[in-house]
Structure 1
Amino acid sequence: MPGDPLRAKFIAETYLTHAVCVNKVRNMLAYTGLYNGKEVSVMGAGMGIPSMGIYSYELYHFYNVDQIIRIGSAGAIQDDIALNDLVIAMGACTDSNYGYQFGLQGSFAPIADFTLLEKAVCSARTRNLTVQTGNVLSSDMFYNDMENINAPWRKMGILAVDMETAGLYMNAARAGKKALCLLTISDHLYKKEYLNAEERQLGFSNMIELALSLL
């Protein structure tokens, strides 16, 4: 599940054989095809936890999906992470109130499925990819009126910021299903570096191929 439905289209046309478009509702494109003889679906998730929350919930509960691998972009906040590096989200902090619905009397720690996580780390090593594994932050805000809002998270060792992972991990936990998030660094929030729009939409081949290797 990439965020961008056009990235889902690109993946289907580039990596899958016999791909068929199975969803166009709200232009959230989804395709099912074959990768190395295995049936796989790729679908956009949209932006933010509310959008990811809806689509991943329906896939888990209404369409008998057992595992979802999110592939997305993220903004790095640690100095030793560079553009195009891969981050495997072992856990996901959040400033979202999404977890309120579960009625927990405390803070829930959304984490990846360990089996998928372990396979991803091993596959990345065999591919000699530059990968960091650790905690990310899923924020509800892309633009934030508070200055230096990421500084406390940076001090706590958070690797990068996205907008969807925590919601996906919570839904997976509640459904008793599997989830993993792979992120490509598209910008650095402290070095003021970034990839352009075309690089974000059509690039990220290392991340896509790593995700497909987990099937």
Structure 2
Amino acid sequence: MATPHIAAELGDFAPDILMPGDPRRAKRIAEDVLTDARLITDVRGILGYTGTFESRRVSVMASGMGQPSITIYATELFQFLGAKRIIRIGTAGGLSPKVAIGDVVVGTSAHTDSAMTAARIPGVHYSHAPSFALASAAVAAASAASSDGSKVHAGPLFSSDHFYLSRPELMAGLTAYGTLGVEMEAAALYAVAAEFDAEALAIVTVTDLIATGEGMSSDDRESKFLTAVSLGLAAFKNS
């Protein structure tokens, strides 16, 4: 059945879905990576496609920006449209001195200060964790994923509701406790997957460094995400 935000029927989506934030990035993955991809939904400009990769059905659909947006789409995909596994393919600001621009982070946990989590289980500081099977498969595939000198890291992310708010003390504290990067969706995706007994993972490319303000060019932003895509597809295949 079509949902309020996705114009698709049960069976239109594959059980495995890659989920970038940007609809144009979803379109590029469908056209450049998948075979015989067809457009399934374009409600509110959020594009979703299903095709094949190495003879395996795979879908790709944008999530928009932020935890409320990805919560809506992931909920409808898991609850009504047959999704079993969603891997977010996104970007992050680097926090740890261990990560460099162009590196990829497999999010093995996700901190957040969002009130969305507090509303799920009142009184509990919920731990946002991905599918172990997906995360371990992505990490195992990392050695063959990059040919441009960038590195793949596994570790915690911080999912923020604020893009422009400067919070140097908070970022310093997260960095001191081993957080690798800050982004805006992983924690919400992990919580939705847990709610529906499904699997999720976030694989993000570091596009800027919070401490220095150094950033990746817009052209590189469009090309560097392919390492994350390859890790996501390997995770689907091998987990």
TM-score (structure 1 length as normaliser): 0.95
Q: 1:188 to 1:153 in 2, by over 3 A?
A: same
The residue number in structure 1 matching 2:63 is: 45
Residue 198 of structure 1: how far off its partner (Å): 2.8
SS of 2:82's partner is coil
Residue 201 of structure 1: how far off its partner (Å): 2.9
Residue 147 of structure 1: how far off its partner (Å): 4.6
The residue number in structure 2 matching 1:33 is: 51
| Unaligned ranges ≥5, structure 1 | none
Q: Deviations over 1:130-152 (max 9, x none)?
A: 11111110000001154544111
Residue 91 of structure 1: how far off its partner (Å): 0.2
Partner residue of 2:163 out of 127, 142, 148: 142
Matches within 5 A, 1:86-165: 86-127=104-145, 130-165=151-186
SS of 1:7's partner is helix
Kept in 2: contact 1:116–1:180 (CA 8 A): yes
Residue 103 of structure 1: how far off its partner (Å): 2.8
SS of 1:11's partner is helix
| Unaligned ranges ≥5, structure 2 | 1-18
Q: Deviations over 1:107-165 (max 9, x none)?
A: 00100100111111111124466111111100000011545441111111111000000
Kept in 1: contact 2:102–2:224 (CA 8 A): no
User: Share of identical aligned residues, percent?
Assistant: 37
Q: 2: distance between equivalents of 1:139 and 1:122? A: 28
Q: Deviations over 1:150-195 (max 9, x none)?
A: 1111111111000000000000111110001101100001122111
SS of 2:119's partner is helix
SS of 2:201's partner is strand
Q: 2: distance between equivalents of 1:172 and 1:47? A: 18
The residue number in structure 2 matching 1:16 is: 34
My pick for the range that moved more, 128-137 or 8-17, is: 128-137
Kept in 2: contact 1:10–1:202 (CA 8 A): no
SS of 1:73's partner is strand
The residue number in structure 2 matching 1:192 is: 213
The residue number in structure 1 matching 2:94 is: 76
Compute the RMSD of aligned alpha carbons. Answer: 1.4
After TM superposition, the runs of 4+ consecutive aligned structure 1 residues lying more than 3 A away are 126-129, 145-149
TM-score (structure 2 length as normaliser): 0.86
Kept in 1: contact 2:20–2:26 (CA 8 A): yes
